[in-house]
Structure 1
Amino acid sequence: MVGAKPPNLGIRSLPVRLTAIAAAFALLSLPVAAGAALKVGATAPNFRTQGAIAGKPFTLTLREELKKGPVVLYFFPAAFTKGCTLEAHEFAEASDDFARAGARVIGMSADPIDKLARFSVEECRNKFAVATASPKVIKAYDVKLPLMPGRSNRTSYVIAPTGKVIYAHSDLDYRDHVKNTLAAVRSWKASKRR
């Protein structure tokens, strides 16, 4: 067609695309609850993966960790992001309380082990292990982050030495994860004294 204007695919549409991208990232920071599929009483799937504590990599198996007592297994979207860093700081500050209650804390994300080894030193302050969550583990624990395939949402589980889930909390807002999981561990420990 003579005189027809070509579609504008250039610079003018860039601000619209950037706004859409910014909006998508803003949604990720909203405190939205997400349902954890593993319910209280479910058997936590065993896994073997690479973990790190104090910057030192090691092989981590859930079954072996449970032989030492209950495990607080918390999934987070990505190391060195604001919410995940703040959550790691809170778990680090409460690590002595978890230890006194007999529990081990393990953070998990889809990040590679070299990044998690740095995170274990810088943000976890050498207090607890972090480990790589494979797509298979993310699926088994039903913690997939819908807006970011391959990443986990923010879900915390307390798993008894028997392998049974005794507490589950799923919320992208990190603020209640430490408080709630510590209360669940203490409650479990108190029930064992009776």
Structure 2
Amino acid sequence: MKRFLAACLLSGAVAFSAQAALNDGDVAPDFTAQAALAGKAFSFSLKETLKKGPVVVYFYPSAYTHGCNIQAHTFAEQHDQFVAAGATVVGVSLDSLARLKEFSADPDYCAGKLVVASDADGRIARAYALKVSAAVAGAKDTRGIEIDHGFAERTTFVVRPDGKIAATIGGVSPAANVEQALQKVRQLGAARPSASKP
């Protein structure tokens, strides 16, 4: 029964309530975390990345689980459109950096395009007022490898360059989550004054 519940939770069949306390207009908690891109580790800073434009900070339960695989694959497929809208995307989970290095380079999921950051103790997720669940004994990922960490609820925050949250997206499917985030960053881009105007 525990394995069934864990599988449902990770696949997205059981949705979290997504009642995040942080919402439109709230200040997004700044964070620095060890992250991976295309299999290489580096230090990700939200504050520094916001200097380039909006940042989509998406929290997800675990790398190599059904719903998270779909979400990462969809973000990777839409990557160029987020870039065109001036936005950076970073995924955050309680996965270890070692798992994320593999996930970030996997051609079926992050495909070397997505930054994924490690929030091993759930500190960042909790700062965003998200629910963090304990590890589930016997839970395995889609590769059959045991998952030894807890899970943050699937919620995406679109953060404006001024550090305030422009949108909180939760309670929808992984693919819809990506589409809604893209719509929001396009709206932000359309609202910015054109640099070509006097």
TM range, normalised to the smaller chain? 0.7 to 0.9
Write out per-residue CA displacement over residues 124-155 of structure 1, whole angstroms, 9 at most, x where no aligned residue.
00112000124211110122244758321100
Q: CA deviation at 1:107?
A: 0.5
Aligned pair count reads 175
Q: What stretches of structure 1 of length at least 5 have no aligned partner?
A: 1-19
- Name the TM-score, length of structure 1 as normaliser: 0.84
Identity %: 39
Task: Give the Cα–Cα distance (whole angstroms) in 1 for the partners of residues 130 and 35 of structure 2.
Answer: 18
Task: Give the Cα–Cα distance (whole angstroms) in 1 for the partners of residues 80 and 166 of structure 2.
Answer: 21
Task: Give the Cα–Cα distance (whole angstroms) in 2 for the partners of residues 55 and 146 of structure 1.
Answer: 27
Aligned to 1:125: 111
Aligned to 1:155: 155
Q: What stretches of structure 2 of length at least 5 have no aligned partner?
A: 136-148
Write out per-residue CA displacement over residues 140-193 of structure 1, whole angstroms, 9 at most, x where no aligned residue.
012224475832110001000100000111126312111100000010111113
- What CA RMSD, in Å, does the superposition of the two structures yield over aligned residues? 1.8
Structure with higher helix content: 1
Mapped contact 1:48–1:59 kept (Cα < 8 A): yes
Write out per-residue CA displacement over residues 24-77 of structure 1, whole angstroms, 9 at most, x where no aligned residue.
225413252421221100000011110110111001111011111100000010
- Name the TM-score, length of structure 2 as normaliser: 0.82
Mapped contact 1:70–1:102 kept (Cα < 8 A): yes
Task: Give the Cα–Cα distance (whole angstroms) in 2 for the partners of residues 35 and 151 of structure 1.
Answer: 16
Q: CA deviation at 1:98?
A: 0.2
Find the partner of 1:50 among 28, 31, 34. 34
Aligned to 1:182: 182
Find the partner of 2:77 among 93, 110, 114. 93
Task: Give the Cα–Cα distance (whole angstroms) in 1 for the partners of residues 190 and 150 of structure 2.
Answer: 38
Task: Give the Cα–Cα distance (whole angstroms) in 1 for the partners of residues 3 and 126 of structure 2.
Answer: 28
Mapped contact 1:34–1:172 kept (Cα < 8 A): no
Structure 2 residue matching 1:193: 3-state secondary structure: coil
Task: Give the Cα–Cα distance (whole angstroms) in 1 for the partners of residues 14 and 165 of structure 2.
Answer: 24
Q: Does 1:39 align with 2:31?
A: no
Mapped contact 1:153–1:172 kept (Cα < 8 A): no
